[in-house]
Amino acid sequence: MVSSETMRQRGRRKGGGNEGSDGMRKLLLGLGFLVQGFRCFPWMAVNFFLKDGLKVDPSTLQILQSSANLPMVAKPFYGILSDSFYIFGQHRVPYIAFGAFLQAVSWIAIFLSPSNISFFTITLYLLLGNLGASVVEVANDAMVAELGKPPSSSSKNHQNSSSGQLQSFVWIASSVGGVLGNLAGGIAIDRFSPQVMFLMFGILLSIQFLVTIFIHENSLDLPKSPSNRGIKKQLSELLVALQKPEIYYSIIWFAASYAMIPALTGTMFYYQTQHLGIESSVLGISKVFGQAAMLLWGVIYNKNLKSMSPRKLISAIQATMAVFMFSDFLFVKGVYRMFGIPDSLYVVLFSGLLEVLYFFKILPFTVVMAQLCPPGCEGSVMAFLMSALALALIISGWIGVALSSFFQVTGNDFSGLPRALLIQAVCTLLPVYWSSCIPDGIKPKTKAKEG
């Protein structure tokens, strides 16, 4: 007798599952990644609220931007939990609903707080929101890893045609959310108070929560996990997976390539808004341009670059980042102004693109990691990867604060910013020299035919 799971796997090999399941997956994942991309909407309001409302300095803003990622560091725990602990027979959808609920509570709580809310209190609320966001991301990433993994007996042609397809879909959904979030944020910041923007996002999260609780996991036709045997067993399998050289070398390089770059986003935000007087609407357009580039990147990768060597592609992205950061050095030195290029034009075209270029390599890297993940611990491995990224971004932010302090960059004195940007560009180029840690393509597994 053929089991139902075997039938589901045969269906996925033939056509990717039934149309109903495919539609429900795209609804759940599309909405989830769309809302995830839209998170830039309230965070734009947070930046202006801290700068204009609470009057914090650039270093304090940078510290908050980095430290707010602390809940993301615990992603492996959330991944192990979702892989091994089922709620009402489901191990993905309930976690998405719970994470959306936590986010809605945190942003609505900030809206209900007085305008003179303390820095400590708003930090706690933002940490709670990012805790919910990290739980949602872990569950979503695990689903993408499970559904995006080609069967082991697939041919090379089948693998090349299907590998990365779902990753590209959710990447595009997240990019669309980013475009809409930044566009709406740039418009709303001039028309509404930051608190009202917090409420708007809280309502959107409430809608996501309501939609999610009405979707049952059985309708998604997810592959059954072979390791549903408790947290201890799942942790053991995660440790086994991380002992594979192609996995742990890749993760170490990926995290280091972010951690060693001093983040100067908070300082550049103050430089553009306070020193140059760039309007918030221009910043919004800049971010929209960047998110549109990210959306285009997802389409181009899916159609033309999936077959390219991951090592060469990721190294090329890293080198391009260094070029753009050196361009920021020329911008602050006034070189482009000497050639008649307005500051606002540079901010729209180059600053927005650099901000998203920083994350371009995530798409090809997650495709590689999804193929490397052993069956049954996709959620744990992908969560560990995102946890390493979150920790790297925190370290990057704190190094950026130290670098700005070393060159005595403040909210009123940006004379040391060019030197800080030059060091940032050099640090960005360094990981290219040990890019051999990145797998140079994943060879499909083939099983010998038994006579």
pLDDT per residue as tens digits for the range 267-296: 888 898 888 888 888 888 888 888 788 878
Token pair belonging to 102: 């936590």
Residue 296: strand, helix, or coil:
helix
Given this model, what pLDDT does residue 18 score? 57
Helix (H, G, I), strand (E, B) or coil at 395: helix
Are 253 and 438 a contacting pair, CB within 8 Å? yes
List % helix, strand, coil for the chain (3-state, nearest 5): 75, 0, 25
| pLDDT given for residue 150 in this prediction | 55
Give which of 352, 40, 354, 356 is closest to 181, Cα–Cα. Answer: 40
Give the count of beta carbons closer than 10 Å to the beta carbon of residue 290: 27
What is the three-class DSSP state of 87?
strand
Please give the chain's pLDDT, 451 residues, in tens. 444 444 444 444 444 445 667 778 788 888 999 999 899 899 989 988 988 888 888 888 888 888 888 888 887 787 777 777 778 777 788 899 999 999 999 999 999 998 888 888 999 999 999 999 989 988 888 788 777 655 554 444 444 444 457 777 887 888 889 889 888 888 888 889 999 999 999 999 999 999 998 888 777 766 665 545 566 777 777 788 888 888 888 899 999 999 999 998 888 888 988 888 888 888 888 888 887 888 788 788 878 887 788 888 889 999 999 999 999 999 999 999 999 999 999 998 888 888 888 888 888 888 888 778 777 666 678 778 888 888 999 999 999 999 998 998 887 888 999 999 999 999 999 999 888 888 776 554 444 444 4
Neighbours of 14 (CB within 10 A): 8
- Residue 199: CB atoms within 10 A of its CB come to 18
Burial class (CB in 10 A: 0-12, 13-18, 19+), 443: exposed
Could you report the per-residue pLDDT of 305-319, keeping only the tens digit for each?
877 888 888 899 999
Q: Specify the amino acid at residue 341.
A: I
Tokens 């996925």 identify what position? 12
Report residue 341 as tokens.
């290029």
Model pLDDT, residue 164: 56
Per DSSP, the residues of 223-242 read: PPPTT-S-HHHHHHHHHHHH
Tokens of 141: 């990433």
Nearest residue to 370 via CA among 159, 162, 154, 144: 144
**pLDDT, position 148:** 65
Q: How far apart are CA 172 and CA 270, in angstroms?
A: 30
Angle, CA of 225, 92 and 222, to the nearest 5°: 50
CA–CA distance, 142 with 376 (Å, rounded to integer):
10
Contact indicator for 439, 269 with CB cutoff of 8 Å: no
